[in-house]
Copies of this chain bind each other. A is one copy, B any other.
């Protein structure tokens, strides 16, 4: 339901082909809202039907074609309307916490493996997002730079600051997941005694 607004956020920077959009998506806004290309192409067609974008067919070489999408006024308005209106929050559905709440049903080894994997998973996410924060600070994000070129100098700070802010929230969340899992490992040691020597963990 947010996919369309993630795509509009990119197209507000300038026209992009489906392919380029999809590629840029993966390395930018896809960090905030994941979508595979098999979902992006059909969504662009739907957005065209809804008048939010127009697709322009271009030739490529002899017989190749590609479709470049342009934001329409209606698309811009729809985007701003989304930005101005309240978010609807999804109900909680957290498999990791569900599992954690009944961890007495797992062996101590499996419980430890689960928490180590949780830490590994969220550490990987932190790495991704901090790399993105570094690119923002270094002005090394191509879509952000194109966006900055197209807007008033005085709005640069805000654009950069909010982008930072969005990613910082994800980093905070991931760190909180890691802290929690580490407390869980300590809890397991308390409840079952410390991990015994030979059997290494994942």
- A residues touching B (Cβ–Cβ < 8 Å)? 1-2, 5-6, 9, 12, 29, 31-34, 79-80, 82-87, 89-107, 110, 113-114, 117-118, 121, 125, 155, 157-159, 161-163, 165-170, 172-173, 175-177, 179-180, 183-184, 187, 191
Contacts of A105 in B (CB 8 A): 12, 79-80, 83
Given A32-B94, A92-B33, check contact A173 B176 (CB 8 Å): yes
A54 to chain B, nearest CB (A): 21
A180 to chain B, nearest CB (A): 4
Q: For the complex, would chain A's binding face be called helix, strand, loop or mixed by DSSP majority? A: helix
A123 to chain B, nearest CB (A): 12
Whether A166 contacts B84 by the Cβ 8 Å rule is: no
A189 to chain B, nearest CB (A): 12
The 10 closest A-B pairs by CB, nearest first: A101-B166, A34-B91, A100-B166, A103-B162, A83-B106, A104-B158, A176-B176, A32-B98, A169-B180, A84-B110
Whether B101 contacts A32 by the Cβ 8 Å rule is: yes
Whether A172 contacts B179 by the Cβ 8 Å rule is: yes
Whole-angstrom CA separation of A170 from B166 in the bound complex: 20
Contacts of A101 in B (CB 8 A): 9, 29, 32, 162-163, 165-167
